[in-house]
Structure 1
Amino acid sequence: MQLTDREFQLISSLVNKICGITLGEKKRSLVAARLQKVLLSGGFGSFQEYYEYIIQDTSGEALLNLVDQISTNHTYFFREKEHFDFLINVALPGISEEQRNTGRRKVRIWSAGCSSGEEPYTLAMILKEYLGGNSLHMDAGILATDISFSVLETAMAGIYPADKMLQVPISYRQRYFSPLKDGNWAVKQCLKDMVLFRRLNLMSREFRFKGLFQVIFCRNVMIYFDKATRRELIEKLHRYTEPGGYLLIGHSETLDREAGLYKYIKPSVYKKI
């Protein structure tokens, strides 16, 4: 089905209003491809008809389905390994030293835009390995959020095909996953217990979190936002970062250093001022 200029404008404006994602002309073919099956399965004669159905649906389910289709991103275990090396070599030792000085026993990491779960489960494996036997005495947890219900369902199920496991070290695979008869791999409960999955729209005014995070991963999320939306999100992330805590973003993303919210540490790694 052909996606006209007007139809693309209507859909992209709606997506931007709801979740801040900016769909430029380069994303037009992606939008058309991802929505084709929705139109065909729903019996819609055009993208205009589909758009009208969304805005007239009082249940909100059609809108959530649209967001699911547009916001789902590619991810994999240990993506951008340099970030996890930084976590192991710098961030976690710093947290450990602070805890020795204060007596605190809490580690909180937020995976914002967690997609299908590979990132937070990678973080859980790293925490398990780093803490070792101390994990039983440490209150360590990971909050994993995404706007898409469908990817959160995949993440919570914790079942991944064999090709998704190629980036997972064999020793980790043996400790933290169970092979299934169909060739898939299932995340073990010891990892699932460390991760709390929740749906969250990053465009929400407030996030209603109980505490602050020592480390926030918000990677390859802001590439879809315009400058004003990025600035607004960074201000919110700053409010929920502990003093001296870290924000890690995608390698193709940057922060405005003049804003005075985070100090540049290295490419895609920042520390709260």
Structure 2
Amino acid sequence: MSLFSSSIGLRKDSIRITDAEFVELRDFIYEKSGIFVDEKRKYLFESRFRKRLGELGLSSFSDYIKFLKFDSARREEMVRLFEMVTTNETSFFRDQKQLDAFRDHVLKDVIDQQRAAKKMELNIWSAGCSSGEEPYTLSIILHEMLGLEISRWRIRISANDLSKAMIDKAREGLYPEYAFKTTPDAMRKKYFKQDGDLWRINRDVTRMVDFKLMNLNESATLKRIPRSHIVFCRNVIIYFDESMKKRVVNSFYDNLVPGGYLMLGHSESLHKVSKTFKPIFHPGAIAYKKE
């Protein structure tokens, strides 16, 4: 049973968030996830949460904060909370120029190094994988690049996200038309099969991807990721303040093997965040190398 009674007859569009409530909820979200919500997003924040308060029968944001802290259902609600504060807009082969640079320079360099060392092993970490389009895209790129040779490699793509709903969707491997808005037709025909109005990704692609729920603010869980040759973390650190960015990037640095690479989103950089990586400039992308 909930700790809070229903608000009978309350119009959900009449619920407003006060400055004090915004600060308290923002700080709670930051403490639990490392995501910092700027004050400029206060009213967007209010409209996004208002519907949820109505569903729970709560009459104020103060009641919702108490719900998150003390209600018996607070663990389940944290899952919903994380989904409401993140944006999961993605697609297969998103930012093609960056992916081309990754394939032709970063991935080629790592594969050449592994071949020279006679270590046919490759670990990639997709941090903030959303509904799976990014790690599956990386798997497809590897299949295209290695061809039949891929059977001789031990490849693992560790894919993690804060949202359970996104992880569940990624594991299902079933996607609507809009997920392919940036996908070459040849890639869709080769690696997907139509399933009604949706498209199901081939088993060969999914086999090398391991999905797990993960909070980048929990340093102990990050240490469970195998040492990586490449870390992809695109369009994630934009949600963090400077302190959290530094903590996460330091975790990536510790996870990477010497000579490994960190790939960020095209609008993100390590300027003022970290000087431990060497930026390598390619047409359409910057790769950050651990030396």
Deviations 1:164-206 (A, max 9, x none): 223221111112111112x111112111111100111111123
Separation (CA, whole Å) in 1 of partners of 2:262 and 2:114: 19
Separation (CA, whole Å) in 2 of partners of 1:53 and 1:46: 11
Cα separation, partners in 2 of 1:128 and 1:35, compared to 1, 3 Å: same
Which residue of structure 1 lines up, in the alignment, with residue 62 of structure 2?
48
Does structure 1 residue 264 correspond to structure 2 residue 279? yes
Deviations 1:8-54 (A, max 9, x none): 11111100001111111122233222212211111111111111111
Which residue of structure 2 lines up, in the alignment, with residue 4 of structure 1?
18
Q: Does structure 2 retain, via aligned residues, the 8 Å contact 1:253–1:268?
A: no
- Pick aligned residue for 2:198 from 184, 188, 192: 184
Segments of 5+ residues of structure 2 without an aligned counterpart are 1-14
Q: Does structure 2 retain, via aligned residues, the 8 Å contact 1:109–1:214?
A: yes
Residue 157 of structure 2 aligns with an amino acid whose one-letter code is: I
Residue 17 of structure 1 aligns with an amino acid whose one-letter code is: E
Residue 69 of structure 2 aligns with an amino acid whose one-letter code is: I
Which residue of structure 2 lines up, in the alignment, with residue 76 of structure 1?
91
Q: Does structure 1 retain, via aligned residues, the 8 Å contact 2:234–2:263?
A: yes
Deviations 1:64-89 (A, max 9, x none): 22112112331111122222112210
Cα separation, partners in 2 of 1:188 and 1:209, compared to 1, 3 Å: same
Which residue of structure 2 lines up, in the alignment, with residue 29 of structure 1?
43
Separation (CA, whole Å) in 2 of partners of 1:62 and 1:100: 47
Separation (CA, whole Å) in 1 of partners of 2:225 and 2:238: 28
Residue 52 of structure 2 aligns with an amino acid whose one-letter code is: V
Q: Does structure 2 retain, via aligned residues, the 8 Å contact 1:242–1:272?
A: yes
Deviations 1:105-157 (A, max 9, x none): 11111110011111111111101111100111111121110111111111111
| Larger displacement relative to structure 2 (111-120 or 40-49) | 40-49
Q: CA RMSD in A?
A: 1.6
Give the number of aligned pairs. 272
Separation (CA, whole Å) in 2 of partners of 1:268 and 1:199: 28
Alignment of 1:148-187 (within 5 A): 148-181=163-196, 183-187=197-201
Q: Structure 1-normalised TM-score?
A: 0.94
Separation (CA, whole Å) in 1 of partners of 2:273 and 2:128: 25
Partner SS, residue 201 of structure 1: coil
Does structure 1 residue 121 correspond to structure 2 residue 139? no
Cα separation, partners in 2 of 1:258 and 1:120, compared to 1, 3 Å: closer
Q: Does structure 2 retain, via aligned residues, the 8 Å contact 1:250–1:268?
A: no
After TM superposition, give the deviation of residue 209 of structure 1 in Å.
2.7
Q: Does structure 1 retain, via aligned residues, the 8 Å contact 2:158–2:225?
A: no
Q: Does structure 2 retain, via aligned residues, the 8 Å contact 1:72–1:148?
A: no
Segments of 5+ residues of structure 1 without an aligned counterpart are none
| Larger displacement relative to structure 2 (121-130 or 72-81) | 72-81
Separation (CA, whole Å) in 1 of partners of 2:81 and 2:275: 36
After TM superposition, give the deviation of residue 259 of structure 1 in Å.
4.2
After TM superposition, give the deviation of residue 218 of structure 1 in Å.
0.7
Residue 12 of structure 1 aligns with an amino acid whose one-letter code is: R
- Pick aligned residue for 2:52 from 38, 63, 74: 38
Q: Does structure 2 retain, via aligned residues, the 8 Å contact 1:220–1:250?
A: yes
Separation (CA, whole Å) in 1 of partners of 2:226 and 2:81: 32
- Pick aligned residue for 1:208 from 204, 217, 223: 223
Q: Identity across aligned pairs (percent)?
A: 33
